[in-house]
Structure 1
Amino acid sequence: MTRVALIDDHESVRLGLEAACARAEMMSVAFSGSTVTEYVDWRALSRQAPADVVVLDLTLGDGTTVTENVRRLVLDGSSVIIHSVADRPAAVREALSAGAAGVVSKSSPIGDVIAAVRTVARGEPLNNVEWASAVEGDRAFADAQLSARERDVLRLYAAGLPLKVVADRLGVAYSTAKENITRIRVKYVEVGRPAPTKIDLLHRAVEDGILVEPAADPGDATRGR
């Protein structure tokens, strides 16, 4: 029996997947919810084993990033399939880099999603069209390889906060935060994705799933350089 967890902040999507899993042989839905935190809390309270496969929405409404969510689930012992509208290839590539087993488009027939779950549950690679499209010509996913601290700095700074406020929130010196921004810009240049301005950094953060969407009007994003 393959135990599946469904994590998507759109209830209608979850209900459709739940019904499909219920019809599938040797498959059951162990959990259905809108955030990874809900799933982790459920695991802790119920003392249930990790789901064999987690079908995860690419972008959740709680402000978490796809990297955070995928890594959390993989470290917990589950395989992860990204269930995405597939219109943000950079974020899909980030999910694959974080350890997701594959991606299935939300436009795919429900039977394809079930087949993907079975494939991943068997430990086989999910080399489908969506996966190929996400990694085509990736040049190592054009990943700037930002550290966890650099990602934290970029998330706050690109959202529109002045650098001094970013430093205060993270408990680091202003000079440290400034050095982080300099290194971030250098790393993006090295992978062919330059970000010389704060607006450019905002675009890179959104492309890479570090920000779900701009938290401030683009006109405000130039403040605090």
Structure 2
Amino acid sequence: MSHATPDPVSPALAESPVRVGIVDDHESVRLGLQAACENSGYEVLVAAATAQALVDGLAGRACDVIVLDLSLGDGSRVTDNVHLVAGTGSAVLVHSIADRVALVREALAAGAAGVIPKSSPTTTVMAAVASVARGDVLNNLEWATAIDADCDFAKAQLGRRERDVLHLYASGLPLKMVASQLGIAHSTAREYLDRIRVKYVEVGRPAPTKVDLLRRAVEDGILPGLDASVGDRGV
């Protein structure tokens, strides 16, 4: 698996500023992230000490990205926090110290789009925010380490043909082309894809979209680490 840092993207090129939410129980971190975001041209909608306070502050608005610390002082659970903030319609970027592998793994399993260490340069953090806002899959060493450290993360038992379908489909091919390359009917390819999704649901790693399937393929070593966006074009 290759590991690459996403390239920064100028917000000036976007039609509207990237909207960011920040959850961290340390005021200095919140203020630092907020200043960095605003200096990068992003719009910070809410910066809060807890996930619930952020959701309350958004009052129905949605961020493009919520930067979430893993361990908060209110004793809340990682999975609950990821679900809570993701429920606003926002992508979740974990921002944490690098040695909390178990918590990082839990956040990724709950649906976080990626992880960026607190030790990272500000430019790297801002690039990660831009990458996640675009819907890209954010892969880096911290993400891979969290996956590799927990064998339970790779429980989905895919058959050889299912792995072939996932490899081609998650790489970006339409399902019709996947079927053509494998010499099977389109309906058969769809059945394989449906079974793949069911297997991931069964192990607590749902993959309803094409981007989710790309993440699962990378996590399970079916595809190498990617920093390119694969649009959810459906089946």
When normalised by structure 1's length, the TM-score is 0.59
Alpha-carbon deviation of 1:134?
1.1
Partner of residue 85, structure 1: 97
- In structure 2, the partner of 1:43 is 58
Cα distance in 2 between the residues matched to 1:106 and 1:30? 21
Where 1:118 maps in the other structure, the secondary structure is: helix
Correspondence 1:110 to 2:122: yes
Count of residue correspondences: 139
Name 1:176's counterpart in structure 2: none
Equivalent position amino acid for 1:22 in 2: E
Q: Confirm or deny that 1:141 pairs with 2:153.
A: yes
Q: Structure 2: which amino acid aligns with 1:89?
A: V
Matched, 1:71 2:91: no
User: Which among 96, 104, 109 is matched to residue 97 of structure 1?
Assistant: 109
The whole-number CA distance in structure 1 between the counterparts of 2:32 and 2:144 is: 26
Q: Is the 8 A contact 1:94 1:141 kept in 2?
A: no
Q: 1:142: how far off?
A: 7.8
Q: How far apart are 1:128 and its partner, in Å?
A: 1.2
Whole-angstrom CA distance in 1 between matches of 2:58 and 2:33: 20
Partner residue in 2 for 1:174 = none
Give the Cα–Cα distance (whole angstroms) in 1 for the partners of residues 54 and 104 of structure 2: 21
2:108 counterpart letter in structure 1: L
Moved over 4 A (4+): none
Cα deviation, residue 138, structure 1: 2.9
Q: Distance in 2 between matches of 1:142 and 1:81?
A: 21
Listed as ranges, the matches of 1:1-225 within 5 Å are 1-25=17-41, 27-44=42-59, 47=60, 49-141=61-153
2:8 matched to which residue of 1? none
- Higher normalized contact order (CA 8 Å, seq sep 6+, divided by chain length): 2
Gaps of 5+ in 2: 1-16, 156-235
